[in-house]
Chain A
């Protein structure tokens, strides 16, 4: 009797959380047209460089993005130096008429001097396909177009000077050298993507 109750309880247990793209999977939605804050149109395929592509789901207002984004330009530079593409994607499609509008994205990119493409995922197709749930949420693909790192930028959103583990920088460096990434999956708190 007790056993059957436990089975019932376990079968009741619900997990309503998006499934993130698994490590080793090929980059999805590579041909979706993405408008950049520069006015240009990109696809993930076009943004892919010789050694890979780093995709960061981001937005204009999330406090975690605001704190972490001082690391965006240095990481974009590191990617550029190592022939890895870099793109920030705004998938907050329920706010694309408000705080995450294209105009607001342009202003945000100018205010924070973004030195990389910042694109609109109009129908949140990329976020859904990647299983991205929050901002910032990072996905790094290698030269074979396969996911090799997923999760957080580092372990300290509040203060870049007090970072203990630079997960993403370490992953980018490993990809650039064609080495195995030591920490492939990490987590951090973040704002929900507003679907």
Chain B
């Protein structure tokens, strides 16, 4: 887990930093400590996001910290910030996570992926060279997440 390295909304070991997509991608490339970074884009009002959330949280317990870092990126609006923090805390999510700065959805979406249509949840896996190694939108099963991560780790010789 990437711990508190930035200023932001800190709450008992959890920080929800408000950023644009370009700022976020610069940040994670600078502070990465694992082979794979999984970014899950979600919101508190998105039912499929909430349904897959528990097993996405659980991924970090299943993998070595050197192999996988899971980052949650909320697209909740400013008015829902506390709701997002409460939701993360209720799922025992700690450390540095992010929330989208309001405005310019198009830049946000296209910075993550030109292929992404904008539907959430959206998940991206960044490989050890910082490349976007896999991406999908919509809810997926727990086994699907494992399969994608395991394939990448195999590729990297883990």
Contact = CB atoms under 8 A, between A and B. Distances in A.
A190 B136 CA distance: 15
Nearest to A13: B133
Nearest to A99: B47
Contact of A13 (B45, B109, B118, B134): B134
Interface residues of A, number: 28
Given A187-B110, A191-B46, A192-B120, A12 B133 contact: yes
B155 A187 contact: no
A133 B45 contact: no
A158 B78 CA distance: 11
Nearest to A62: B45
Contacts of B131: 9, 13
Most A C-beta atoms less than 10 A away, residue of B102, B105, B131? B105
A193 B116 CA distance: 14
A15 B115 contact: yes
A61 to B, nearest CB: 9
B138 interface: yes
Contacts of B155: 8-9, 12
B92 interface: no
Contacts, number: 93
B134 to A, nearest CB: 5
Given A188-B118, A194-B48, A12 B152 contact: yes
B106 interface: yes
A176 interface: no
A75 B45 CA distance: 26
B35 to A, nearest CB: 12
A134 interface: yes
A189 interface: yes
Interface string B42-66: 0001111000000000000000000
Interface of A: 8-9, 12-18, 20, 63, 133-134, 137, 152, 155-158, 186-194
19 contacts: A9-B127, A12-B151, A14-B148, A15-B134, A15-B136, A17-B115, A17-B116, A18-B117, A63-B45, A134-B119, A134-B120, A155-B105, A157-B105, A187-B118, A188-B106, A189-B105, A189-B119, A190-B120, A192-B121
Given A16-B136, A191-B45, 9 more contacts: A20-B117, A133-B137, A133-B138, A187-B110, A187-B116, A189-B75, A189-B119, A189-B120, A192-B121
